[in-house]
Amino acid sequence: MSDTPSLPERSRLVHQHLAKSGVDTTIRVLPDSARTAVEAADAIGCEVAAIANSLVFLADDAPVLVMTSGGHRVDLSALRASLGADEVSMAPASVVRSATGQAIGGVAPVGHPAPLRTYIDEALQDHEELWAAAGHPHTVMPLTFDQLRRITGGTVIAVV
């Protein structure tokens, strides 16, 4: 695993959660921001579709985490149907911060103040290695689809 003292505080929390879950991966600190899937893919050298974006939505006013492929945009109608929700919208930055303890662009799949109901884009299964934010806009980590599902307890759904 990464050298935790050199990681931002939020990434150290993510590292602790991964260790407790038995996931052995390295959190990488990037020299530039990886706030978007394209920026992250460019910095890592992977396909944009292998970026596991952590997006927070409000589903019937409750925050949910949706791990989606950077290769496409979430279709709100498809997401609403997959979640069985009447209303779904992007969460404002203040809700993202309070629900995850992390800033937009750096939201990790784990390391939140309390567990979030999590959903995982079925398209992420197509990649041997996924890359997710690790709690800060400059940190990323590789995971397998199975690791992502295990650490989040996420439900696999269609988002497009």
Report which of 96, 9, 28, 98 is spatially closest to residue 57, judged by C-alpha positions. Answer: 96
The amino acid that residue 110 corresponds to is: V
How many angstroms from the chain centroid is the CA of residue 142?
Answer: 11
pLDDT digits (tens, 9 = 90+) for 39-67: 899 999 999 999 999 999 999 999 999 99
pLDDT digits (tens, 9 = 90+) for 139-155: 999 999 999 999 999 99
Domains of the chain listed by start with CATH number: 4-157 (3.90.960.10)
Instruction: Say what the pTM is.
Output: 0.93
